[in-house]
Amino acid sequence: MLAPPWIPVPAPGYGGVETVVSSLTEAFVEQGHDVTLLCAPGSRSSARVVTLLDEAHPDEIERSLYEVDHVARAFAVIERGHFDVVHDHCGFTAVAMADRIETPLVHTLHGQFTPSTAAFYAHHGHKATVVAISRTQIACAPSELAVVAAIPNPVDLSAWSLQEHKSDYLLWIGRMTEVKGPHRAIAAARAAGVPLVLAGVIQPGQRAFFEREIAPHVDGNRVRFIGEVGGATKRSLFANARALLMPIRWEEPFGMVMVEALACGTPVIAFPEGAARELVVHEHTGFLVDDEAAMAAAVGRLEQISPASCRAWAAAHCDVDVVSRAYVQVFRDAILARPEVRVARA
């Protein structure tokens, strides 16, 4: 398992990719696989942990210097260790250089496609076995990129308790950006007459948006901002909310917060953008709505949604055991596609 160099696994706070890596790694170990986790310092796992750089770099995410250094050191470990397969979550460097190592490399697409990243994958994607996290993401991929499967990000349902009886607040959680729509969540909650809790990290470059669009509405009563949350506090926040609001305006390739909400029986009210169209089953696990007014109206229909149905959907599609076993099949196929490597090492 090749994790990014930026944040420890599991993430101490915000860190979606690191949470995915941690959940999958623990599942693979539980299933009896021999797993080595190549990761940032400070990481913890039941797998064999190998840290590569001297320190994590949470404030320098995507800086190429650290990614290249991290991957180069990882490839040295991989070539010495005679591994069967590498599962890469690291970014771009490992894919671009995957033809420099004999070990098959399975790469999970975690981000959206832009013109630049689409051109990158069109040129380098054939060097790895590529997995998407949603059908939406595949639809946005360049035609030259062969994606072998759409496997959703996992959630460990054992860590998320079903809560049948909800408190009287709505929840928005995420990065404080316009495309994520916290300001639209405020408008919808106000129109519905229900308190809203905003939670999440304000990353570099997002402070101006927060101060302009969010801060003037935060009164500690109808609108509360509680900052970044994790652990038991985060799970309780999700479990007790009447609904999670997802007023996004971009082709989000997944949206882990939607699955985490569903895991504890909390419906999701979302705009039909990106993977929300796949993760929210209209009138079964929540509602897909077109604007803030429709979102407010859907709040009045939440009694139609069964918390147990929300959790059952998450269990069937995104439970870590389901997701990890789907990846194991991809690993086996990737290994079999490189028979010359297997023979050479036999």
pLDDT tens digits, 207-221: 999 999 999 999 999
CA 71, CA 3: separation in Å to the nearest integer? Answer: 9
Contact criterion met (CB below 8 Å) for 110 and 17: yes
Nearest to 200 by CA among 242, 257, 138, 153: 257
Q: What integer pLDDT is reported at residue 343 of this predicted model? A: 35
Pairing of strands 170-173, 147-150: unpaired
CA 157, CA 175: separation in Å to the nearest integer? Answer: 23
Residue 324 and residue 313 in one domain: no
Residue 231 and residue 278 in one domain: yes
**47 burial via Cβ count (<10 Å: 0-12, 13-18, 19+):** buried
103 falls within a domain: yes
Kindly indicate the confidence band of residue 153, based on its pLDDT and cuts at 50, 70 and 90: very high
Mean pLDDT value of segment 52-56: 93
Residue 196 and residue 147 in one domain: no
- pLDDT tens for residues 287-337? 999 999 999 999 999 999 999 999 999 999 999 999 999 999 999 999 999
Task: Round the average pLDDT of the chain to a whole number and report it.
Answer: 94
Kindly indicate the confidence band of residue 344, based on its pLDDT and cuts at 50, 70 and 90: very low
Count of domains forming the chain? 2
**115 burial via Cβ count (<10 Å: 0-12, 13-18, 19+):** exposed
**Is the pLDDT assigned to residue 8 strictly greater than 60?**
yes
259 falls within a domain: yes
Sequence letter at residue 243: A
Residue 237 and residue 323 in one domain: no
pTM for the full predicted model: 0.90
Sequence letter at residue 337: A
Using DSSP's 3-state secondary structure scheme, residue 155 falls into: strand
304 falls within a domain: yes
Percent of the chain with pLDDT over 90: 89
55 falls within a domain: yes
Mean pLDDT value of segment 137-155: 97
283 falls within a domain: yes
Host domain of residue 176: 157-318
Residue 218 and residue 306 in one domain: yes
Q: Per the structure block, which two tokens stand in for 282?
A: 């209209």
Task: Name the DSSP class of 283.
Answer: T
Pairing of strands 36-39, 48-51: parallel
**Is the pLDDT assigned to residue 125 strictly greater than 90?**
yes
Kindly indicate the confidence band of residue 16, based on its pLDDT and cuts at 50, 70 and 90: confident
8 falls within a domain: no
132 falls within a domain: yes
Residue 325 and residue 313 in one domain: no
Q: What integer pLDDT is reported at residue 341 of this predicted model? A: 46
Residue 219 and residue 304 in one domain: yes
Contact criterion met (CB below 8 Å) for 312 and 253: no
Residue 313 and residue 164 in one domain: yes
Nearest to 24 by CA among 68, 69, 81, 85: 85
Q: Per the structure block, which two tokens stand in for 13?
A: 């706070």
Q: What integer pLDDT is reported at residue 342 of this predicted model? A: 42
Contacts of 8 (CB under 8 A, 6+ apart): 18, 39, 40, 41, 42, 43, 44, 56
Q: Give residue for tokens 């070990």.
A: 103
CATH number at residue 211: 3.40.50.2000
Q: Per the structure block, which two tokens stand in for 173?
A: 């959680």
**Is the pLDDT assigned to residue 340 strictly greater than 70?**
no
Of 280 and 338, the one with more pLDDT: 280
Residue 62 and residue 164 in one domain: no
Contacts of 222 (CB under 8 A, 6+ apart): 189, 190, 195, 196
Q: What integer pLDDT is reported at residue 51 of this predicted model? A: 97
Q: What integer pLDDT is reported at residue 15 of this predicted model? A: 66
- Backbone dihedral angles phi then psi of residue 285, each to the nearest 5 degrees: -115, 5
Residue 271 and residue 336 in one domain: no
6 falls within a domain: no
Q: What is the DSSP string of 201-257?
A: ---TT-HHHIIIIIGGG--SSSEEE-----HHHHHHHHHH-SEEEE---S--S--HH
Output Rg (C-alpha) for the chain, integer angstroms: 21
Residue 165 and residue 259 in one domain: yes
Residue 179 and residue 64 in one domain: no
